[in-house]
Structure 1
């Protein structure tokens, strides 16, 4: 017993020091957030839900889908649509937070056009009838000259988590199923960032998952999350471009970012030279330099956030938009049907130019400033784009800023409205 106490004490001290901002900001206290704040005006009048269908609810990921006017050499975008993954049955089937009760009701995929203002459900064509579908992270290749392009979607299916490959067209509300991708190291895929039509990064958020039998699946994932154990990882996957009856469609699976606590969202910068990965359980975003030829990643820096980071998206100006959960206990209660709403926070992380030094106080326009909760990052600055105590919008998990339309989109993991859009 004495040995256990002597061994455990320094480990607990290390955990408390490493996770001090998360423990205090996101667990011990509930931040005093406003009903709603939008950085470009009045959230009450400028932010509204996209919800038009009962199935368009509990939405997780948002991804831009760029439609180019002609070939790959022409960079003229005719429209930027938004692809959305939703799962109305999330409270019955959630392999990350639980429970694992009923996997049968299928989740859904949607496309939103800011040009028409319409939200359209994508019909799953040629999807196996006996295959369950619970979409999480997704990303699509751009479409050129109206042609179809690949869409990849993480699917937390009944038996195991896989990645589904679809073909989508700008002209039809259809996602044609191409193939299901599986690998022994697809332990808990969460988010995807494409490096080409047949290659991508994929995060794995846990090593211990709720799929483990008996009480093990109820205990070990919580331990991994709460103690911020750096067990999760990100891999790069290369596929066989030949879709037809490939016995082994995954040609290469390489772990490129190991030893991260709860790897969640991932995004590649517009230059292709940087990758950001959210570390949820320690409320940070890690930045990596990327070798474009080999897709190898090298860690460079981290940024503390005033919330548990969920998904991340670079905009075309190189700013990283991060959305997350400011109070984790409330999120847990909401998933268990013990409360109705949980807070949301969306922040933009921008790199500092040249020798610019960070200001000790920053993000001062927000109702609750991030600088009141976390120290200034050394190489970046933070600006709140949206925040809510849950009354305006609950459980914001993905933020997407579109400089073309000026719109800010926020999806909610357990938001009845599914997604809101804020117009400047």
Structure 2
């Protein structure tokens, strides 16, 4: 495990800034409680690599786009499904958003030095068994303006259906001057090509991070900060840091709807954005359950998942539960059986060190599933205090158990086997786990 070091040594230089940052951290620890302490204090007994369904060396493999190795620093991933008329899944592939230039341009963590290099989208054919035998391919962005920057973050895609051969693909883009959402169209017949439709931007898109589709042309969109690093001078260096470390509830989630005309590049129309949740601390990943009844949002700085009941008619969200996580959660994805798969960062300073390209720095990874429990299972669990058993570092050492939910560790690493886990997906049919990392090379595939 990387030895602890000061967050300030990376982000702040002057003695006054040191004092301010120290005060921020101290107050943040007091305000946010045990969960925040967990991501600032290292865990020395983290394993090199742990997989819940078998030996890490035998069951987990890293998929790369050899020999170029450009598919790295992937922030998000999503299943793109091909469905029949009844909605049954016929096939699926993985789509990934990756940015090898993240160490030179990161509008959330910094630095913001060089935005001219482009990130990319990739697709990975899962295959019959869902293992690591597939080969990733870069997606060509047809018609995307040469003068536009492309630094992809969150993404989501609508399923391919018999009466809708082309799927809308939406991608958050942290471009040079402002953050936007890019709309593409992709076809199952040529999944390595995505036709650009248009760029969505506006005053509502302050700090877009992740999105989750609610229809072919509508989605939930998290804005992770009120204050961003794009602010001029010292404001951009201090206000976002203060908002993050103090866990200030200044951010929000929108529901964005495009008019019928907005699917046509010749008549773009205007997006309509409505705030559906507010007063959130660093809302990051967002996901809609397979049945459409629930929405989950990751609060990164408070180390918890917020569950909401969703009204499909109005897209309104009503709070259901808060489930603490033993790490700072990044992105979230529901599997088809109703479990939420959460990936995140157990040690904040290590992640900042990796982002700053410090020599030999490693950022640990942690992936869990969160599953609602039945009343019978809930009663049985209450009989014993131990849970998440058989794991090198069980979640019960870090956070209290949330009534009504079972949290189970699926993967852990000190960063030497897989670093900075940002998104994980589990195929409920095969049980295969797919993980990408914010500063990791390739895609990790773990097969039971």
Partner residue of 1:365 out of 375, 390, 394 = 390
Contact (CA 8 Å) 2:36, 2:303: kept in 1 or not?
no
Match of 2:229 in 1: 210
Residue 382 (structure 1) shift:
0.6
Match of 2:369 in 1: 348
Q: Distance in 2 between matches of 1:367 and 1:140?
A: 36
Match of 2:344 in 1: 324
Residue 13 (structure 1) shift:
9.2
Residue 405 (structure 1) shift:
3.2
Match of 2:16 in 1: none
Structure 1 stretch 196-205 or stretch 398-407: which is displaced more? 398-407
The secondary structure found in structure 2 opposite 1:143 is coil
Partner residue of 1:125 out of 130, 138, 142 = 142
Q: State whether structure 2 residue 436 is matched by structure 1 residue 419.
A: no
TM-score (norm 2): 0.88
Q: Distance in 2 between matches of 1:97 and 1:244?
A: 33
Match of 1:232 in 2: 251
For residues 81-160 of structure 1, what are the structure 2 equivalents within 5 Å?
A: 81-115=93-127, 117-145=134-162, 147-160=165-178
Instruction: Point out where structure 1 has 5 or more consecutive residues left out of the alignment.
Output: 1-10
Match of 1:165 in 2: 183
Match of 1:284 in 2: 304
Contact (CA 8 Å) 1:240, 1:246: kept in 2 or not?
no
Partner residue of 2:289 out of 269, 284, 291 = 269
Contact (CA 8 Å) 2:182, 2:198: kept in 1 or not?
yes
Q: State whether structure 2 residue 430 is matched by structure 1 residue 400.
A: no
Residue 406 (structure 1) shift:
2.4
Q: Deviations over 1:273-320 (max 9, x none)?
A: 111000000111111111110000111210111100000000000000
Residue 14 (structure 1) shift:
8.0
Match of 2:38 in 1: 25
Contact (CA 8 Å) 2:290, 2:334: kept in 1 or not?
yes
Contact (CA 8 Å) 2:350, 2:361: kept in 1 or not?
no
Q: Deviations over 1:115-168 (max 9, x none)?
A: 171211100100001000000000000001381111000000111000000001
The secondary structure found in structure 2 opposite 1:218 is helix
Structure 1 stretch 232-241 or stretch 401-410: which is displaced more? 401-410
TM-score (norm 1): 0.93
Residue 169 (structure 1) shift:
1.1
The secondary structure found in structure 2 opposite 1:333 is helix
RMSD: 1.7
Q: State whether structure 2 residue 240 is matched by structure 1 residue 221.
A: yes
Q: Distance in 1 between matches of 2:102 and 2:27?
A: 35
